[in-house]
Amino acid sequence: MDCDVLIVGASGLVGRELLSGLGGYRLASAKTKPGRGEGLPVSNETEFGLAETSACSGDTLAEPAKSRSAPAAPQAAEEPLDRVLGTANANPAAGLLQLDITDAAAAGELLGRLRPRCVIHTAALTDVNLCEVEAERSRAINVVGTVNVARAAAAVGARYLYFSSDYVFGGDHGPHPPGEAKAPMNVYGAHKAEAEELLADCVENYLIIRGCNLYGYQEGGKNFAMAVFELGRQGKSMRVAVDQWGNPTLARDMARAVSRLIDSSLRGAIHLAGPDHVSRYDWARRAARAFDLDEGFITGLSSNELSAVAPRPAHGGLDAGEAERELGMRFVGLDEGLAVMRADLQRAGKL
């Protein structure tokens, strides 16, 4: 069976947005649980509906970055694709295929059977503190698992899009442009950086997509904005850092940008992120306001006072200006993205 796109990690925040946005298989409408290799009926709905840059329709491209082997050829994959499939591991859902990426043979077998022309690898152990204390587990998933899927993609001649993070950078000088030297400060960042380095030996047609501070409505999800919503709604307190900065990025916006990379010839690394560089404290308070919550439950503290298990850069984040020019789109700002999330919460009957 051939499929257009295989999303590895489709039970996660970004994977779900990709799955529903690419118009393939909708988790929410699942009524039956198909067997391996089957999926749900194709939906014609596309949930991408975010801001375009008015002047740029793909013909005003920036100079290709040095790390890239070919000029950009942006292509909006906004028509529903013929076959978009997704995988899950510990959190199976109707319509998703089972894959543990630490199992190289299973990855090879699944991709050999599906023969996708593009593999979007969002699967990862994303709990940064857990990675710090369970470094072997982090390595097995975030490094070895990445290599396993990249090799399986190469074996069927698929394009391979790999999700990495701003945590491959360290220190105090974000938002980071592509091409900056990597200097990870924690185990998660180090393993993402290691996986990036290994890709060139695994698969020819690959692109590293670095993201940061992803958020959006997700049933049962634990992303930062969902945590603000849930804790505020339950009247619990929330302690957040006043001295950690990044670029909050609406997951749906990320998925929309990625849809344009499936058929592009971009290689190397690209940064996809929202335009606002804000502290976690600012982000939390703006989210609370967007969700009609009294901000009093949020307490701002220094990183030292919070003493998280894993160290984090003070000024992280990503500069996505080059990507916006190349893709002919702009990422929404924080308040606009939170308004999208608010509307999703209302649609889901949560607000």
Ligand X SMILES: NC(=O)c1ccc[n+]([C@@H]2O[C@H](COP(=O)([O-])OP(=O)(O)OC[C@H]3O[C@@H](n4cnc5c(N)ncnc54)[C@H](OP(=O)(O)O)[C@@H]3O)[C@@H](O)[C@H]2O)c1
Q: Residues in contact with ligand X, total (CB under 6 A)? A: 28
- Stretch of 55-63, 98-106, 290-298, 334-342 contacting ligand X, by CB under 6 A: 98-106
DSSP state of 295: G
Q: Does 304 bind ligand X (CB under 6 A)?
A: no
Shorter beta-carbon distance to ligand X: residue 104 or 351: 104
Residue 126 contacts ligand X per CB under 6 A:
yes
How far lies 182's CA from each of 195, 243, 278, in Å?
12, 21, 22
Shortest approach of ligand X to residue 130 CB, angstroms?
A: 11
Among 42, 61, 64, 100, binds ligand X (CB under 6 A): 100
Q: Which stretch binds ligand X (CB under 6 A): 6-14, 194-202, 289-297, 328-336?
A: 6-14
- Which residue, 44 or 91, is less far from ligand X as judged by CB? 91
- Binding mask 102-121 toward ligand X (x if CB under 6 A, else -) reads x-------------------
118 pairs with which residues across the strands?
Answer: 5, 159
Contact between 20 and ligand X per CB under 6 A:
no
Stretch that binds ligand X, among 87-95, 128-136, 299-307, 324-332 (CB under 6 A): 87-95
91 binds ligand X (CB under 6 A): yes
Residue 61 or 93 with smaller CB distance to ligand X: 93
Provide the token pair at 203. 């698969």
Q: Which is nearer to ligand X, 56 or 227 (CB)?
A: 227
Q: Nearest-5° angle of CA 99, CA 223, CA 274?
A: 105
Range in contact with ligand X (rule: CB under 6 A) among 19-27, 77-85, 94-102, 324-332 = 94-102
**Residue 2 φ/ψ, nearest 5 degrees:** -100, 140
In the complex, minimum distance from the CB of residue 137 to ligand X, in angstroms, rounded to a whole number: 9
| Residue 349 DSSP class | T
**250 near ligand X, judged by CB under 6 A:** no
- Give the max Cα distance, the chain: 54
Query: Mask: binding to ligand X, 185-214, rule CB under 6 A, as x and -?
Result: --------------------------xxxx
Prior bond to 175 cis, omega within 30? yes
CB of 78 to ligand X, least distance (A): 21
- Which of 231, 350, 249, 343 shows the shortest CA–CA distance to 296? 231
3-state secondary structure of 7: strand
Phi and psi (nearest 5°) for 341?
-65, -40
Residue of 288, 287, 279, 270 lying closest to 329 (CA atoms): 270
H/E stretch holding 154 reads: helix 145-155
Q: Does 145 bind ligand X (CB under 6 A)?
A: yes
* Residue 269 vs residues 186, 200, 325: alpha-carbon distances, Å: 20, 12, 15
| 167 vs 291 by CB, closer to ligand X | 167
**Could you give the CA distance from residue 68 to residue 207 in angstroms, rounded to a whole number?**
9
Which of these, 125, 108, 118, 109, lies nearest to 85 by C-alpha position? 118
Contacts with ligand X, residue ranges (CB under 6 A): 9, 11-15, 88-91, 99-102, 122-126, 141, 145, 163, 165, 211-214, 223
